[in-house]
Structure 1
Amino acid sequence: MYLRDKKICFIGAGSMAEAILAGMFNQKIITPRNVSITNRANRFRLNELFTKFGVVADADYREQSIQEADILILAMKPKDVGSALSELKHLTNPRQLIVSVVAGITTDFITNILGHSAPVIRTMPNTSATIGLSATAISSGITATDEHILIAKEIFESIGSVVIVEENQLDAVTGVSGSGPAYIYLLVEAMQKGAVQAGLPAGMSRELILQTIIGAAEMLKETGEDPAVLREKVTSPGGTTQAGLEVLRSLGFEQALVACILRATERSKELGAILSESKT
């Protein structure tokens, strides 16, 4: 366990910070006395997290918590990262590990604001972190070592699965798994509409659709087979599945999903450039 006895300070107290906290406590890889959380002004939110987790969440100890931390987890909003780091950089030092969950902000950008060589790990979890089922990608900055990557991996494995990627791949990760839950939710919405129009009650439709998606995902995971192979196994010539798939193809279903992922990836790059330029 790389986190044993490490002091961790969260800068930012939103839903992602809470999800990571919950995951680490559920996995018993940290203890409350070694964790602090801070934000700029919302004492009510800090009190909520203190009550829930027992961590240090007192705004009066903000500077001390940041200075004493071995690991700083940046969990503020992207628009606030430049001003927050500029305000707090004098409290940081090169021996700390900086872990960012801030979308669109590069490791070089963080390093340049801090003005020293502290290792930086950049991550891209998704909203399923709130139930411990995130798909998270992590990448390392120029001064981060293998040990720093393993520390970050331990943190994010507490809220789901982790892959290690090059930083220039994180925009694609954003387009696939970062935004991916929304694509699945839209799919479910459409399937529910179709099911109701076909004559099924809404509640029953939802139950059937969710279990179908869960089962299909588990089949992909457990069998390791290519999705095309599994699809062919379900599709009998001239049967119902083939009829449905022919409609999806005629309406450009596959092309739309590919275009969706590519556009989301491009938008991630655009937003990253905007955020970086606005804080230089």
Structure 2
Amino acid sequence: MAWGTSSPWRCAARASDSVAGTEGSRKRVGTQPYRRCGTLSHVTTEKRRAPAGAAVLRGEITTAIRRAVLQELAAVGYGRLSIEAIARRAGVGKTAIYRRWSSKVDLVLEVVVAAVGKRFPLPDTGGLRGDLELVFLIMTRALGHPLAAQIIPDLLAEAARNEQIAQTLQRVLRDNQRDIGGQVVGRAVSRGELPPDIDLDIAVDLIVGPLYWRLAVSRTPLAVEELPGLAAAVAAALGVASQPAVPSELGVPLPGTVTRTDTGQS
């Protein structure tokens, strides 16, 4: 094909120049006629909308799903939990859940971590026993909540069968416990009630262990009137734990151990 005046490429180029000049001089968006290969046509100059990106996730739907997860966990446990039941309780479709989480375990762990991993400042009561009593009061109310009382034991049992749940719970619970214990122990150290070299891990176990055992494992109610006595006992235990270890001189073997005697045989 010869590159003459009737070439469609040249016609289109002239039309483009004409449109650009018209928009620049008249500031008008519309259509401009041009002759393309002997016929009258139009070039549209109307701006097209850019294609929309990913759908925006609505916050109220996410909140409803999170609430439904906790309610379903408390009602049926992790083993019987289903995405269908969560969606039904939240009043949404399953696709709304899968847009946010890829699987049931990811959904449950994120929701539980957000609930369990919340950190809060502890008011300074001015003494170790007072701080411990305040911690015990807060933990008693948290672990005694109807949802927590059902969910935590169930997930701890599920952790024995699911390594992902076990590792996540261990990390989140330990971080939360160390945060609480660190505040209590740090203040006691600054007041001179505990030595600076106290083992924080042992201290945290002594602080949170009795309550977790009582409320989450044995599930025995703990009255508010018992908290001062528990705080005094834990404070005393922390004082003992901060002392240097003394080798045992009893010479009594632990139950189940085998005592080896020197028979003189080679």
- Check whether TM > 0.5: no
Q: What is the TM-score normalised by the length of structure 1? A: 0.26
Give the alignment's TM-score, normalised by structure 2: 0.27
Bigger radius of gyration among the two: 2
